[in-house]
Structure 1
């Protein structure tokens, strides 16, 4: 990732230098450069980064839950001067005055037990109370060490399920981040080729206008010597005016598409972006089985399906665990109390508490059983949906591979037709000038030339769109033959 950032910095420096040296602020932009800038500067990339940051800290929180937690709680101080209700030995009530100052402090170390789903804590505490007023005195109570265990029995082990689900969720989030970055690439390709096609249309319109004006000037001379009719002259004049109108329309389309790409890449409005026609990747042919293997290995769908299945199993386990509930609470340790702090730690006594809480429904009219059945039905729905999603995913991969492999041949044909149509148009102009073809044949040659050029750009767009679409589904670079990966912690820290 450091190399990527260095490349981005160099590219942006080049653009800045170009702005400083050239008053027109012309930026020649290749498809690769546009993709690189978009993956760093675009709003879509920033959204993907924020989603990754959220997933990262959620996973960090999960991991922190598995580690010991040290906590201090205290009251510094607590002052009371009030009357409290007190029941005497004969059952009568009276009010006694409480005038005291208290300090409490407890230090505890807690640890979740992933194996059983319980929690164990080791704690030490000290309480100080000073009775104020007449006959004031101090009282200390210490717990030098205490051990407490809280353990659900027969219930669902939340810790065990979280340890299974959360790593899968984070892997899904990391894959989704790379896919989001690749989707930024697809949007960049759309905007880039829209501008490229608009640029080609503008060049075509400029060339057509120049040729139309040239032919009209020649026709005027021919009309003076009677070699062409007045009707043909007017038709050429009409063609020149139409060409001028088409050029104005093409320039407007170019400016609109340039503004869209410039905004998406977060470039300056002073820049005039000139897209460079990209080349194809020679010798790249996709194999469906290899592409499907990479997609199933790297795509977030596989992690998404696994996570949803685990969550459905967790819901079933939770519903079954809630049918009956038994909780164990046990605490052992030592306690001491005295009027001085030192003595409160010397005269210690055992302090033991064991509680077993039981909740067993005797008559719930099938409510808990119904919740289990609902959870099981929901799990079957999830399994059915995920099977269908996997089948649809495999089909999409197959179609993309077929389209890409076919697109290479289509692009080669379109390039050859483009070249031939250009030569034919040039020849038609020369033939028209010597009077061997009429204006209709010339217009047909011009239309064929324009359509062939537009078709060539469109096929080139399809080629790269299919290529990067496959790359976004597999998260695999088929040119350099390696998985798309990133240092996610470095990305989050850098942001």
Structure 2
């Protein structure tokens, strides 16, 4: 923005990762997904607790004709004009061991006839105990107690992995900007050297010590250096915008990335990484959840082969024209119902569903074995790349130092006319490529390290697991 003051912000890699974890859109999406899973888990937990309900109709007014059957069997219509109100308070509890539900109820009904023989009527149920119980059907509550905690564990692991994935994205953007900075530094140095060398070449040409072709080559190098610097400036702006957007920084912020010097002291073995991954990665919880869900589908299909349900209610009831009288002279109130549904002829439909559910479970088990094998293979390759990268990084660092010293020596040698422009250009290109290669190898090292962290949810440098205060994050962010 024109006229706005630019703020320079020096950022280390660790600071960039920390900002990305809290400020990026990806981090916000991961947190929202965790919140969804958290409230789903809370809802499941609430189903295991007692529930108190109050329901009422205050009032219900009716003024209508209703059919009435006479003693002869014929029908006539009777006009009704009445007011009705009722209320009920219930305390219910799901029984996870059996899958049934028990409830304690109290209710009161009021009826007032508004035409003809006007009267009031009260009916009370001071207390009633109700049991609803499926006998052979699947116990959904029991299965939820097995599945839902695993699902929430999977969600928490997914949140931690997503946070590490945000770090991986931040690392990529950070090193892209760092590479753009290095390219600009290289281009600026090359332009400065090209100008100096061109001036020296003009003097040498005047003294007849170099050919006209060499002078033209030096001028062409100068033009190429100016063009390269312009391209590097454009590329840096693009990388800057990308990283600023990720970190939610203002347009006037000029980020200056610092080349990481310290590396995590972590010697990672495949066996150790695999053990940590199988204990902590979301894949482990996902495999367990999907196995349970497949078993649940089989249990539901088998439970639907026959259905028997029990309903029982015991309590007291009273009725009177007066409110107080409805709670005196109470009488027993019992209801017992047993209903069942047993298929006599369904052409094998229910048993077919059982076979389908069992087949789906076998397919799921095969897929899960394949997923675990692929996961182990990918982790093995990643760990091997990380271990090799430590050596590659040291090689590229030494190559960068040697190429820089070689180019500096060749510049001095060119000044006294001992080497040609072609040799000088070759050393310059080698120096630039060595520096770029070092930055790229540095990026690959950090990328591999954080990919392993994302899969294992383990900080190998600190020797501890990657965890979070989920309750705090959900409340405060």
TM-score (norm 1): 0.94
In the TM superposition, residue 23 of structure 1 has moved relative to its aligned partner by 4.1
**1:282 and 1:350, CA in 2 relative to 1: closer, same or farther beyond 3 A?**
closer
- Corresponding residue for 2:258? 276
- Give 1:315's aligned residue: 297
Q: Say whether the 8 Å CA contact 2:400–2:434 is kept in structure 1.
A: yes
Q: Does 1:40 align with 2:22?
A: yes
Give distance in 2, aligned partners of 1:482 and 1:352.
61
Task: Give the 5 Å matches for 1:349-368.
Answer: 349-368=331-350
Instruction: Return the offset for 1:437.
Output: 0.7
The answer as to 2:392 corresponding to 1:410 is yes
Q: Residue deviations 1:345-375, cap 9 Å, x none?
A: 1111111111111111111111111100110
Distance in 2 between residues matched to 1:283 and 1:300, nearest whole Å: 26
Q: Quick check: 91-100 or 118-127, which moved more?
A: 91-100
Q: Which residue of 2 aligns with 1:5?
A: none
Q: CA offset at residue 467 of structure 1?
A: 0.6
Query: Could you tell me how far 1:488 is from its partner in structure 2?
Result: 1.0
Q: 1:430 aligns with which of 393, 396, 412?
A: 412
Structure 1: gaps of 5 or more residues = 1-21
Q: Which residue of 2 aligns with 1:333?
A: 315
Deviation at 1:89, TM superposition (A): 2.7
Q: 1:240 aligns with which of 214, 222, 226?
A: 222
Match of 2:449 among 467, 480, 483: 467
Q: Could you tell me which residue of structure 2 aligns to residue 387 of structure 1? A: 369
Determine if contact 2:265/2:461 at 8 Å carries over to the other structure. no
Find the partner of 1:400 among 379, 382, 391: 382
Q: What displacement does 1:288 show?
A: 1.5
Q: d(CA) in 2 for partners of 1:204 and 1:435?
A: 24
In the alignment, the residues of structure 1 paired with residue 116 and residue 348 of structure 2 have an alpha-carbon distance, to the nearest angstrom, of 64
Instruction: Name which of 68, 73, 79 aligns with 2:61.
Output: 79
Q: Name the SS of the counterpart of 1:130 in structure 2.
A: strand
- Residue in structure 2 matching 1:211, options 160, 176, 193: 193
Q: Distance in 1 between matches of 2:5 and 2:203?
A: 42
For the residues of structure 1 that align with 2:249 and 2:364, how far apart are their CA atoms? 45
Q: Which moved more, 1:92-101 or 1:31-40?
A: 92-101
Q: Distance in 1 between matches of 2:241 and 2:91?
A: 59
1:296 to 238, 260, 278: 278
**TM-score relative to the length of structure 2:** 0.98
Which of 104, 109, 123 pairs up with 1:141?
Answer: 123
Q: Distance in 2 between matches of 1:146 and 1:24?
A: 75
Matches within 5 A, 1:480-495: 480-495=462-477
Q: What is the aligned-residue RMSD (CA, Å)?
A: 1.1
CA drift at 1:413: 0.5
Q: Indicate how the Cα distance of structure 1 residues 242 and 186 shifts in structure 2: closer, same or farther if over 3 A, else same.
A: same
Contact 2:5 2:252 in 1 (8 A): no
CA shift for structure 1 position 24: 3.2
1:232-277 per-residue CA deviation (whole Å, 9 max, x = no partner) reads 1111001111111111111111111111111111110001111110
